[in-house]
Each structure stands twice: as C-alpha cells, then as structure tokens.
A and B are shown apart, each in its own frame.
Chain A
Amino acid sequence: DTGVSQDPRHKITKRGQNVTFRCDPISEHNRLYWYRQTLGQGPEFLTYFQNEAQLEKSRLLSDRFSAERPKGSFSTLEIQRTEQGDSAMYLCASSLAGGQGDYGYTFGSGTRLTVV
C-alpha cells in the first residue's frame, strides 16, 4: 500500500459538464475525507466517510456535489453542471481514527480541476 491515490491528477472541463474524481485510501484506514483547496488557502472541508457511511457534509457543499464510498473502500466525488467557481484542487485524505487517538491525515496528491 503506497498511500492515498487520486485520479485524475488534472482535469480540464467545460462549464456545465459533469466530472468525477476517484480516491483510493490507505486500506487500513476507516475514515476518508474530501477537501477543496484554492490557491493560497488552507483546505476546506467538504465531506467525510467512516467506512461506507457518509457522516458529515459541509453546508458549503451545494447539491451539485455528491460523494460515495461503496463498500467502505475507494470513494468518488462527482460535480454536476460545473461552474468556474469549482476550479480548485480537490484533496482526498484518509485516517485511522479510534480508541488510540487521532493520528492525523494521509493526503493524496489531489486532483486539480479547471473549469473553462
């Protein structure tokens, strides 16, 4: 297991199109997170899963965004009817949370989305 993988690394799409990103977490990790990061800013929380259950979703996330984590393994993030304001780096992270405490995230390299 070489860490958190994200695909694709870069995506350029026309406004109005749908896009889907994939994240493969570290296999032992039970939590998976999606963040969005714009230039010069810190990561902004979008949503997270514990195993296959989506436990929290940011109020900033519009209805155009949906995420899934079937079977508690990989996750997908879909953006429908993309807008120019969706242009950002989309980061996936995974962690092992539980009785031994919080050990922090392992981040993927991100998917950079450009909406033209």
Chain B
Amino acid sequence: AQTVTQSQPEMSVQEAETVTLSCTYDTSESNYYLFWYKQPPSRQMILVIRQEAYKQQNATENRFSVNFQKAAKSFSLKISDSQLGDTAMYFCAFSGSNQFYFGTGTSLTVIP
C-alpha cells in the first residue's frame, strides 16, 4: 500500500527567508507522480509543483523547488524568498495507478 508521511505538523519562517518542508513516501510502483498542494485558510487547494518519478531533474516553479530522492523515497519542497501569501497548509501527494494519497499536511506560517 502507498503511504505518504509528512513529519512536520507545523513550521514557521521569516518573510524573505527559505524554508524546506519534508515528505517521504512508500510504494512498490516504479512509475508514479509526486505533487505538493497548497491550501490557504478557508480556500481551495491548489497545485504548487509536480514531479515525474522517472525524471531525475528536480522540478522548479518560480520560488518553489523540490529535492526528489527516489532511492530514499523522499520529496521535499523548498520555498525561497517566503512571502506572507505562502501561509497555508501544504500537502504532499503521491499518484500511482488509480488514485492520490495525501500526507497529513504541514501548516506553514510566514512571519512578517
């Protein structure tokens, strides 16, 4: 069975600083996708970044980048130059054969 683990329930970062959110997963599948989703307070969940497991190159989207370590089954999210609007719950997700598996989330607060 697939599992996604986010071991940091809460994190905080000073505005303009860099923060890294951790995620590990477990799967026996060889072809899959990994995602980070952001859920601001009382707002809908949006996709932040996507990584294809067969690509070794780490995905980047502006201030967001990932460190994908396939052998270690690790998929961390780095947010550079943190902004107040980055305050949200962040969910790591794994997509295998049929459905997504979400982690329990990390609540990130950006401090002005």
Contact = CB atoms under 8 A, between A and B. Distances in A.
A55 B97 CA distance: 12
The secondary structure that dominates the B interface is strand
Contacts of B44: 107-110
B52 A101 contact: yes
A2 B45 CA distance: 15
A42 B91 contact: yes
B105 A104 contact: no
Contacts of A108: 44
Contacts, number: 49
A101 B55 CA distance: 12
Interface in B34-93: 35, 37, 43-47, 50, 52, 91
B98 interface: yes
A70 to B, nearest CB: 22
Contact of A33 (B35, B91, B99, B105): B99
Contacts of B52: 101
A54 to B, nearest CB: 12
Majority secondary structure of chain A interface residues (helix, strand, loop or mixed)? loop
B98 A42 contact: no
B100 A45 contact: yes
Given A56-B99, A104-B50, A40 B33 contact: no
B104 interface: yes
Interface string A34-57: 000000111111001000000110
A1 interface: no
Contacts of B98: 48, 55-56
Most buried by A among B4, B52, B91, B102: B102
Given A48-B98, A56-B99, A91 B45 contact: yes
Contacts of A107: 37, 44-46
A102 interface: yes
A56 B95 CA distance: 15
B102 A104 contact: no
Interface of B: 4, 33, 35, 37, 43-47, 50, 52, 91, 95, 98-105
